[in-house]
Structures are given as C-alpha cells and as structure tokens.
A and B are shown apart, each in its own frame.
Chain A
Amino acid sequence: MATVLIPTPLRKFTNHTSKVTVRSTKVSDVMMELTASFPDLTKHLMDADGKTASFINIFVDQDDIRNLNQEQTEVTAKTVISIVPAIAGGVQK
C-alpha cells in the first residue's frame, strides 16, 4: 500500500494524521480514495472538474506528476506520495 504524506496545513482535514496509506495503484485513484476518506480535503486538492488543483503539487517520490504521467502515474506499495500546497505566510491581502 502506498503512503500519502499530508502537509501540515491540510492535517486538520485528516484528523491530524500526517501519513495515510492507500490501496490504489495510480495517482487519480489515490486522490479519489483520499478524498473519500476525508471529504473536507476535496476543495483543497481538486478543481471543479475533479482534476488536481493548479495551486497544489503532487509528487510521486521525488518527482512532480506533471513530469511523469500526470494523474495516470502508477504507484506501488513502496511509493511515497507528497502533497505540496502553495503557502504564502503572513497576511493574505
């Protein structure tokens, strides 16, 4: 089962869990599985069409899925999937 690392800003939507194990074998299914388990994550990860939001990056091990096979990128039991959101710090103007 692959592991998804949840960034600290999104952990309030995963019951403060930092690692989630998933059964899915490609990134799009991983995201579906993740948001099915934690529905509040959805608007932070996906756009209205259900695609990965453009202010989120998903890395499979060290590489951006946009440089792999996008959401069709396959994952194995040893894969670590990282979600990296845009953060700006300070005051949102």
Chain B
Amino acid sequence: MKHEDIQFSKEELERYNRHIIIPEFGLEAQKKLKAAKVLVVGSGGLGSPVLLYLAAAGVGTIGIVDGDVVEDSNLHRQVIFGIDEIGLPKVDAAKRRLQCLNPHIVLHVYNTQLTSANAFALIKDYDVVADGTDNFPTRYLVNDACVLLGKTNVYASIFQFEGQVTVFNAINREGQRGPNYRDLFETPPPPGLVPSCAEGGVLGVLPGIIGSLQALEVIKVITGIGETLDGRLYIFDALTFSSRTFNLKRNPANPLNGANPTLTELIDYEQFCGVKAIERRVKEITAKELYDWQVQGKDFQLIDVREPDEYELVNLAAELIPLGSVLAQADKISRDKKVVVHCKMGGRSAKAIRELEDNFGYQNLYNLKGGILSYIEEIQPELTRY
C-alpha cells in the first residue's frame, strides 16, 4: 500500500502523537512507517532494541528471522526476552513481547537461520533489511541478497566495546546505489583470527546503544528525514566514549555491483568465509588401536577437548582441556610421547590438533577417529551415549 493511502485509527493517532507533532516528521512520516515492511535478521543483542523501537515507532510490517532459542546467557543484553522465555524459539518470544507493545502492527516470524536457499524468498517482500546477525557468513549473505534484490541494508555490528553502524545499498537523492559490505570489507578475516563474542564477550549495554542507532537509521531510511549513514561508517568506542564517522565509497572491483560483476547469485557463504575450507588432514587413531594401547600399558597422554558438562556426562578418564583453551594450556600437552586427542565425534579434536601443530609445531598428536562415541560403540557400549 502506498503511504498516501494509509489511514490511522483514533488509537493509533493517540499512540503516535509524539511523533506526529514533530514538525519535520509529522503525519506524512508516520504514514511511511506504517506502510513500510522491515525484515530484522537476528533477534539477539542488536535485534532486541531494533525490534522494540521499530514496533513502538509503528513500522507497519515487521519480519523476524532467527532460528535460535532463548538462553539464560542471552539475557544480559537481549532485553526483549525474559526468564519465562528461556528455551522458547526467539522469534516466538519476540513476537509475544512486540504484540504486547504494539497491537497495531503486523508481525511475521521465521524460525530458521537465513541461508542461501531461503534468503531471496524471505527478503524479497520487504522494503528494508536490518542486519543484526552474529557471524561473517550471514553478514555476507545478507549483504549479497540485499544487493541482488535491490534492498537497503541497515547494518550494525558489535564486539566487546566497539560498535559499527552504516546503511548499505541505499538509493541516494541522485538515484544511485551507495556502497555495500563488500566495498567496506572485501573478504572476511580468516576463521579464528577474530574471537567471537562467545569467546571474547560483549558489554551488555553496547548492543542496546548500537541497536538503537540502527533502529534510528531504519526509521530515517523509511521516512526520508535527515541524512542517513549511506556512504558513511559510524564507529563507537565505549571504552573511551569516542565516536568517529568515515566516508565510504563504492569499489569498482566489487564482485556484486562493481565495474565487472562476477557474483550474480548467492554462494556458499560458509565456504567463502573459510569455515568449510578443505582442512589439512591430521594423524588418526581408531578406537580399537587406542584400546590396544591402553591394554598394552603404552605410555601416551589422552586429552579430551570437549566442554566440562560433556565430560561430566561421560569420559575416558582423559585430561580435560576444552578446545577454547587448548592453546593457552599447551604447556600441559606432552611433546615427548604420543598424545591422543578426542572430542565427541572427532571434529573439535582435529581442530585442536591443527591449532597446536600450527602454533607450536607439535608432531606427536593423534586424533581419535569418531571421537568418544566411536570408542563407546566399539569398546565400551555400557558407557552413556549422548
């Protein structure tokens, strides 16, 4: 529906009164908000304030994409959720909260992760996308889908004490598209170089600040008031309370919409970001061979790189060094004798071995093929499977 045709009920006019009486905003901008369709990708730390403020502001149709469930560790920053919602799908919990906040808007929820297979279908009916996702593959996926579909992508990102906000792929007053994520960052950092918030943490209030700025930019994009961050990148440093704004330009080498585009469809973003890169093989040992070593009384070290709660559930009496701390605790890992490293199924232990080999030059590490599950299956079926 065109915004000119939008009508408001008496209740809506009362609700949005403080918007409508702003001279630069008025009924016109409020109509644009009601006519707008915004897809919020990720309903976590950034998505929480974005959703709350867009719903409160009266954005007429809001879509929410998220495949996660609410966890207790989310609540220090994901203020849209409460303890009663732990274990519920985030999209359902968010919808419930937003319906209580504003019954005059339409909410569509998608309890799924955004993927290359569903991105076009999910995004195509929306006017603006707000990217509040939490990983590089989805960042590039959202960006590419928005560029290929011609959608504006209001971007925000956080880490520890740092926030970034900008508006990608917007149409300026001259009718030209602005820069996008690939103009800013041609490639993602190699996996493991940048620690995640799960490893590196995030100050809970930071996504509140940055997500609110993201909501502000969504509202400006929709209503046309003021000057958006199109072509500019805003950086906030919470530690020094300083902010900077930089100029961004389109890069002629951008593979999506540069001088010679080569990307015309969505790709495998896990592979692009190196998450699924073909990984160097590591030395392996089977469960039967490990059992033989044990029976023979062979001198070797057994390391378990799973998490403590998994270890508590079932273990092979190995030394517990979770994957996240394996480099920091490398001094506990022998160089003089063979070391068998295991996890649940063999993936994490292979990664641990590669990290130890790459960083410390270990040559005596063996991955238990199939992990503890394989050992239980073949050697000790009485142990707990999980």
Contacts and interface: CB of A to CB of B under 8 A. Distances in A.
A54 B246 contact: no
Interface string A51-93: 0011101010011101100000000000000101111111111
B75 to A, nearest CB: 15
A87 B135 contact: no
Nearest to A84: B235
B24 interface: no
B188 interface: yes
B135 A57 contact: no
A54 B185 contact: yes
B189 A89 contact: no
Interface stretch (B158-166, B220-228, B369-377): B158-166
Interface of B: 42, 44-46, 133-139, 157-162, 164, 184-189, 191-198, 200, 202, 207, 233, 235, 237-240, 244-249, 251, 270, 275
Contact of A86 (B161, B188, B270): B188
Nearest to B198: A91
A26 interface: no
Contacts of B137: 93
Contact of A91 (B196, B248, B249): B196
A53 B207 CA distance: 27
B239 A18 contact: yes
A84 B164 CA distance: 9
Contacts of B245: 62
Interface string A1-21: 000010111000000001000
A14 B250 CA distance: 32
Contacts of B270: 93
B207 to A, nearest CB: 8
A64 B133 contact: no
A8 B243 CA distance: 12
Given A89-B159, A92-B136, A64 B237 contact: no
Given A55-B187, A87-B158, A91-B197, A67 B247 contact: yes
A54 to B, nearest CB: 4
B223 to A, nearest CB: 26
Contacts of A5: 244
Contacts, number: 117
Closest A-B pairs by Cβ, 5 of them:
A90-B134, A87-B159, A92-B196, A54-B186, A55-B189
Contact of B135 (A9, A54, A66, A92): A92
Contacts of B185: 54-55, 57, 86
Nearest to B253: A66
Given A44-B193, A54-B186, A55-B189, A89 B46 contact: yes
Contacts of A18: 237, 239-240
Nearest to B132: A89
Given A88-B157, A89-B159, A92-B198, 13 more contacts: A5-B244, A8-B239, A9-B160, A44-B193, A62-B246, A85-B189, A86-B188, A87-B157, A88-B194, A89-B202, A90-B44, A91-B135, A92-B191
A43 interface: yes
A57 B184 contact: yes
A87 B194 contact: yes
Nearest to B237: A8
Given A18-B240, A84-B233, A87-B158, A92 B44 contact: no
11 contacts: A18-B240, A55-B188, A62-B245, A64-B246, A82-B235, A87-B194, A88-B134, A92-B135, A93-B135, A93-B137, A93-B270
A89 B139 CA distance: 10
Most chain B CB atoms below 10 A, which of A59, A82, A86, A89:
A89
B94 to A, nearest CB: 16
A58 to B, nearest CB: 10
Contacts of B159: 8-9, 87-89
Nearest to A63: B247
